[in-house]
Amino acid sequence: MKTMNICSLARTIRSKNAGSFMITLEIIFADRRIYERVKESGAVTQKSIAAAYGLPEDNILDFMFFDPGMGIKANIKRKIPSGGPGETDVYGCQQYAPLFSLEVPWED
């Protein structure tokens, strides 16, 4: 089956600080039809996000589809607390790139 990369489907893919011990990941869509197709495809899940980050699935603390905002949100456990020794991204805003590897089944 043919696939589309999530970067071609989403309007915004971002990450941000969610406190000292978590980072929030968000995938936001501009088109309701595309959002619904991605949601129904089953390609973006807690498991697929964990795999993209090379994490155990239980490190994905929250996962949800937010229908009113046409978005997908997940919180991941930080490896090092925000601002702790050796931590490299206090704001968590540079942690979204692994999401770029997500592929969604897509037939026109």
Reported as a pLDDT band with limits 50, 70 and 90, residue 1 is confident
Indicate the burial class of 25 (C-beta count within 10 angstroms; 0-12, 13-18, 19 or more): buried
Interval 29-53: pLDDT, tens: 999 999 999 999 999 999 999 999 9
Domains of the chain, start order: 3-99 (3.30.70)
Share of the chain above pLDDT 90, in %: 86
Average pLDDT over residues 10-32: 97
Contact 38, 103 (CB under 8 A): no
pTM of whole model > 0.75?
Answer: yes
Q: What is the pLDDT of residue 2?
A: 96
| Residue entry with tokens 């589309």 | 4
Q: What is the pLDDT of residue 4?
A: 97
Task: Give residue 60's Cα distance to chain centre.
Answer: 10
